[in-house]
Structure 1
Amino acid sequence: MASFTLHGIPVSRGIAVGRAHLLTPAALDVKHYLVAETQVEAEVLRFRDAVEAVREELQTIRRDLPKDSPAELGAFIDVHTLILADPMLAEMPVDIIRHRQYNAEWALVTQIEEVSAQFDEIEDPYLRERKTDVQQVGERLLKVLTGTATALPEIDGEDSSQPNIIVVAHDISPADMLQFRDRAFAGFVTDLGGQNSHTAIVARSLDIPAAVGMDNASQLILQDDWVIIDGDGGVVIVDPSPLVLMQYRERQAQHARDRKKLGKIKKLPAITRDGTEITLLANIELPEDCKHAMESGAHGVGLFRSEFLFMGRIDEKQELPTEEEQFSAYKFAVVAMKGRPVTIRTLDVGADKPLDTAEQTALNPALGLRAIRYCLAEPQLFLTQLRAILRASAFGPVKLLIPMLAHAFEIDQTLSLIAQAKQQLRDEKIRFDESIQIGAMIEIPAAALALPMFIKRMDFLSIGTNDLIQYTLAIDRVDHEVSHLYNPLHPAVLFLLASVIAQARKAEIPVSVCGEMAGDIKYTRLLLGMGLLEFSMDPTHLLSVKQEILNSNLDSLTLQTKKILRSTEPSAIAEAVQCMRELVY
């Protein structure tokens, strides 16, 4: 067979080499038939037995997690357990069996397709990819109903002559990945998935090379094919030549040597060669992520996405997390960071990602009633979250971060509601940090271009490069047809970034970057040259970025960055940024 290469989305760095092991989706084998009326209740019982079997399976996986596992792994299993218990998955198929007399598998697939269609209306990449979690739980149920199993071949872990396994699947759940971790499982390739999927997050936390969003890899790759995963570029090479295989094995060995070296700088401060100290913060999705942040040497949390508390709330009752539930989660994170600051971003949901799935979705949801616009339209929901965050501030340094602000009146209304929440807590004699800092996400071009009104009203700024690039270039970066146009080095993007950083520094207001650019070493020196002194990223990238900082000279980078910003030719900018990266001081 001739060698060929596939390109997808890189989600976890590193090189993996091994033989392909294909996992077939149970949904492909589902039979559709009508059950006799006298057999309907028996079919309902068969479905409920499957739900109970999956619940026990998830509990076993949760219980058997090694003590040294990243804390978020257990949380992902908990999310799947919650989804399994949700009426939209546990009860709606029962209604379909009873009213339409579908067999259990058909009823389940029908319900999953309906829920998936609702998620497809969601614009935000992070929440849209939660559809995958519903599908993965559904897939687990189908495997029980159809009697198929998700398994890797038995391999003696002590036998080093056995090749590592590359799992190739249409999709793979975090729970399955955890079951595979003690096998010769070197990496995985999936047709579905994106940067923010739970599977991608688990891959990063377990440090497993992975490439997702491959479209049809599971159909093109055959059982036992030799496969190379280049996790840095999201590239998969199938049946490589002996020479290519040798080159990648050497790269794999070099990766291992480099990672060992990185461990030695964990406790070093991030100081440039000419003496400027840089603050490195962590982005987290779950309170338990704080353990990983601390282990990576983060100075604090620069972005705590509070959306996780609202995940799985997709049943018809739409019971939102209570103030106590939110407070408990925020307090957990604050205490876990042991005095390091925790920046909590308020809820980023809205018409494009409705809390009420029956709600009519906006025609253009990316530009609709979302984030702070939604929160201001639902003041009681917003006040509940603000009170919970303020209460957590009594247990350690907390900062409040507001997403998607663009107008002065939005800032003023937000500050008014924060003041109202504070007064309520004072009246109830509940402690909180009276001087809590309030910041704005700069992620809309209008905000970047009208920065003085933010500087005048806010205590700090955080640049969300993901959305800033997306909105500046009018590109949906998870849309495969246009994602190649998503370019962090576009002259317009660099102009906005440099302008925000320069204005904030001139006004002596703290500014950070919390988007993907902050954790990508290709852009570390460029951001330093713009004057950025605070980076916030996934904890897995922190040591690599720190190494870049330790090997950089700010004076030199500042001069080179000024030249880059004067250029309007993308190819020249890309070449200059690459040259900047290759400088040795």
Structure 2
Amino acid sequence: MTLQVFGLPVSRGVAIGRAVLVASSRVDVAHYFIAPDQIPHEIERLRQARDAVADEIERLKREVPDDAPPELVALLDVHLMLLHDETLTGATKQWITERHYNAEWALSAQLEVLARQFDEMEDDYLRERKADIEQVVERLLRAMSRQSVSTLAAVSQTRERDWGGEEPLVLIAGDIAPADMLQFKRSVFQGFVTDVGGRTSHTAIVARSMDIPAVVGAREASRLIRQDDWVIIDGDAGVVIVDPSPMVLEEYRFRQRQSQLERERLARLRHTPAVTLDGEQVALLANIELPQDAPAALAAGAVGVGLFRTEFLFMNRQGELPGEDEQYEAYRAAVEAMQGLPVTIRTVDVGADKPLERMSMSELRHEHTLNPALGLRAIRWSLSEPSMFRMQLRAILRASAHGKVRLLIPMLAHANEIRQTFEILARAKQQLRDAGVAHTDVEVGAMIEVPAAALQLPLFLRHFDFISIGTNDLIQYTLAIDRADEAVAHLYDPWHPAVLRLIADAIRLARQAGKDVSVCGEMAGEPAFTPLLLAMGLRSFSMHPSQIPAVKQRILRSDTQKLALHLASVLASDDPHAESKRLWTSGREAAAERAFSP
């Protein structure tokens, strides 16, 4: 039976494929595909975990006090029985063998199947046995997490492999952790659907960077959709269609073909300079997350990297931080891959929706922090770990010897944070000089993503060489909206007058001071905002490579002088979005109509 699930459209286009469910669990579970020759190894891991849990339960049975209720021993016997039941372990082996899931993912997938079966039972007693299955699976997952297996190495070896099946796949999940998104980034999935999240949640941002359709905040999607259901993801409307009719399926396949033709047309603009109708040159830069993303930036026509998010080098490591040499090699690889073009490297921005897994610092764990977006994150964490911070700064400075590197500091808000940052940077430079290690004096910039920073921008302009406006967090903090919370996602409004005035003032003050200013948040990659940002005076946009062609097309059709004439009326309006639409439909300016129209 066809059904529709509604959520938030966060990455445009249409995806059609079989559903692959990532079940939620109280235990952190790694999700990745394995190569065919790794299947026996994963099955052996499953067997070892089962034997370890069986031994643990047998030990518990032996230690049960004589005066304990008999039901306790009976319960342990039930868990032993479930542990050896083929519907659990046998079927899990099938997921490993047929779908090439790693053992943890396969076990979680089978738990999802069994949980649904228990939920559909009419007998109350049998239905409540689902909890026993969940407890057994949790024990197995914990046992596998204790195994001395390098999950990250396995992921690295298999992330590039081709999927052996013929049918396209789409991913359905309650939520997708940043670490898992990193693993899925070059995977076989045609699209994503999650129960939670907002338009600028990390899942949404990565989906846009992958240029694949995604719908987040779909609430019940992971409960309503079953493994292997045919699913259509409409990333334009925010609709997920499950088990579509042949007519609907054909209509969406036609839309897929049209979208592909449009992408191919825009791709022809790759070598066209981004120059407005009135001759203003605009720099279109790329946001990247790993050195391997650099070739895609060049292919899209980027003239540099405006934001290298280094936190992804710190994730998926079971709490073990990357060393200085490892970081240096990653930064050097990105710099060299950009072939002499500038690379802006942001220091690590962890916390909030990007916690480090299994860190000893409980403040970074989402479940231990009352409000992680307002907690120990970004520069606050770096300053609390000065030795780690110096290590990263040394690695970035060393990479600067191989090309043009700029350093970017996230989430600054206080004068003492600026002072401490430059003191630690000076110490890192001195350490390199003492060791005779090659490096250069890099330009240092500040992220403007906290309203306090935007409101005291003259202080920042006195200390920094450039600024970069992070609109995702600036909107979140200005409007007091958790951008990853679908319950308030409808209140996350980039068109809010207060947000636009902060951005306009920051761009104006930076230009007056003769300092470079760019926007590296999601607004930079959204063509609807391109004319407005151009009117504000912005001449440097940084976005995911996949977004560059559409933004470049809008720039080529824009006249900045005529757009600037309408800026004051847009900023003064209580509804800037409506005012911008009125400008393009009024017919007063042909250039404004060309620029502002979708």
Q: TM-score range, shorter-chain basis?
A: 0.7 to 0.9
Per-residue displacement from partner, 1:339-389 (whole Å, max 9, x unpaired)? 011101112235994673453555443223322122222221111111111
Q: Counterparts of 1:61-460 in structure 2 under 5 Å?
A: 105-109=137-141, 180=188, 187-191=191-195, 204=208, 207-221=211-225, 228-237=232-241, 251-314=255-318, 318-349=319-350, 353=355, 356-360=359-363, 361-434=368-441, 436-460=442-466
8 Å contact 2:481–2:488 — kept in the other structure? yes
- The 1:50/1:302 distance shift into structure 2, 3 A limit, reads farther
8 Å contact 2:20–2:228 — kept in the other structure? no
Shift of 1:230: 2.2
Question: Considering only aligned residues, what root-mean-square deviation do their CA atoms show, in Å?
Answer: 4.7
8 Å contact 1:351–1:374 — kept in the other structure? no
Question: Structure 2 counterpart of 1:444, which letter?
Answer: V
8 Å contact 2:343–2:406 — kept in the other structure? yes
8 Å contact 1:522–1:578 — kept in the other structure? no
Separation (CA, whole Å) in 2 of partners of 1:296 and 1:233: 26
Give the structure 1 partner of residue 6 of structure 2: 7
- The 1:492/1:254 distance shift into structure 2, 3 A limit, reads same
Partner SS for 1:35: helix
Give the structure 2 partner of residue 35 of structure 1: 54
Shift of 1:306: 0.9
8 Å contact 2:12–2:236 — kept in the other structure? yes
- The 1:176/1:472 distance shift into structure 2, 3 A limit, reads closer
Alignment pair present for 1:511 and 2:517: yes
Give the structure 1 partner of residue 535 of structure 2: 529
Per-residue displacement from partner, 1:466-523 (whole Å, max 9, x unpaired)? 0000000000011111111000000100010000001111111000000010011111
Per-residue displacement from partner, 1:122-142 (whole Å, max 9, x unpaired)? xxxxxxxxxxx99x99xx9xx
Separation (CA, whole Å) in 1 of partners of 2:58 and 2:300: 57
Unaligned 5+ runs, structure 1: 62-79, 85-101, 115-132, 141-150, 156-163
- Pick which of 558-567 and 208-217 moved more: 208-217
Separation (CA, whole Å) in 2 of partners of 1:192 and 1:507: 42
8 Å contact 1:526–1:577 — kept in the other structure? no
Question: Structure 2 counterpart of 1:454, which letter?
Answer: F
Per-residue displacement from partner, 1:203-244 (whole Å, max 9, x unpaired)? 556644332442222444578987543223433345779997
Shift of 1:191: 3.6
Separation (CA, whole Å) in 2 of partners of 1:339 and 1:553: 30
Partner SS for 2:54: coil
Separation (CA, whole Å) in 2 of partners of 1:113 and 1:234: 36
Question: Structure 1 counterpart of 2:417, which letter?
Answer: E
8 Å contact 1:489–1:573 — kept in the other structure? no
- Pick which of 256-265 and 198-207 moved more: 198-207
- Pick which of 413-422 and 46-55 moved more: 46-55
- The 1:561/1:7 distance shift into structure 2, 3 A limit, reads farther
Shift of 1:301: 0.6
Separation (CA, whole Å) in 2 of partners of 1:392 and 1:193: 35
Partner SS for 1:583: helix
8 Å contact 1:191–1:217 — kept in the other structure? yes
Query: Of the candidates 472, 490, 495, which is equivalent to residue 484 of structure 1?
Result: 490
Separation (CA, whole Å) in 2 of partners of 1:368 and 1:506: 34
Alignment pair present for 1:542 and 2:548: yes
8 Å contact 1:334–1:396 — kept in the other structure? yes
Unaligned 5+ runs, structure 2: 26-45, 61-79, 107-133
Give the structure 1 partner of residue 18 of structure 2: 21
Shift of 1:407: 1.7
Separation (CA, whole Å) in 1 of partners of 2:93 and 2:434: 47
Separation (CA, whole Å) in 2 of partners of 1:404 and 1:278: 26
Per-residue displacement from partner, 1:22-81 (whole Å, max 9, x unpaired)? 4455779x9x9973669789989x9999999999999x99xxxxxxxxxxxxxxxxxx99
- The 1:319/1:496 distance shift into structure 2, 3 A limit, reads same
Separation (CA, whole Å) in 2 of partners of 1:38 and 1:5: 44
Give the structure 1 partner of residue 468 of structure 2: 462
Q: Report % sequence identity.
A: 51
- Give the aligned length: 498
Shift of 1:276: 0.5
Separation (CA, whole Å) in 2 of partners of 1:49 and 1:554: 65
Query: Of the candidates 492, 503, 507, which is equivalent to residue 497 of structure 1?
Result: 503
Question: Structure 1 counterpart of 2:433, which letter?
Answer: R
TM-score calculated relative to the size of structure 2: 0.71
Shift of 1:532: 0.5
Shift of 1:446: 0.7
- The 1:473/1:250 distance shift into structure 2, 3 A limit, reads same
Separation (CA, whole Å) in 1 of partners of 2:432 and 2:402: 15
Separation (CA, whole Å) in 1 of partners of 2:225 and 2:351: 40
8 Å contact 2:215–2:233 — kept in the other structure? yes
- Pick which of 235-244 and 504-513 moved more: 235-244
Question: Structure 2 counterpart of 1:380, which letter?
Answer: S
Partner SS for 1:523: helix
Per-residue displacement from partner, 1:252-271 (whole Å, max 9, x unpaired)? 44323321211211001100
8 Å contact 1:451–1:500 — kept in the other structure? yes
8 Å contact 1:375–1:382 — kept in the other structure? yes
Give the structure 2 partner of residue 99 of structure 1: none
Partner SS for 2:362: coil
8 Å contact 1:210–1:231 — kept in the other structure? yes
Separation (CA, whole Å) in 1 of partners of 2:8 and 2:220: 13
Per-residue displacement from partner, 1:89-126 (whole Å, max 9, x unpaired)? xxxxxxxxxxxxx9873313468999xxxxxxxxxxxx
- The 1:390/1:178 distance shift into structure 2, 3 A limit, reads closer
Question: Structure 2 counterpart of 1:372, which letter?
Answer: I
Question: Structure 1 counterpart of 2:522, which letter?
Answer: E
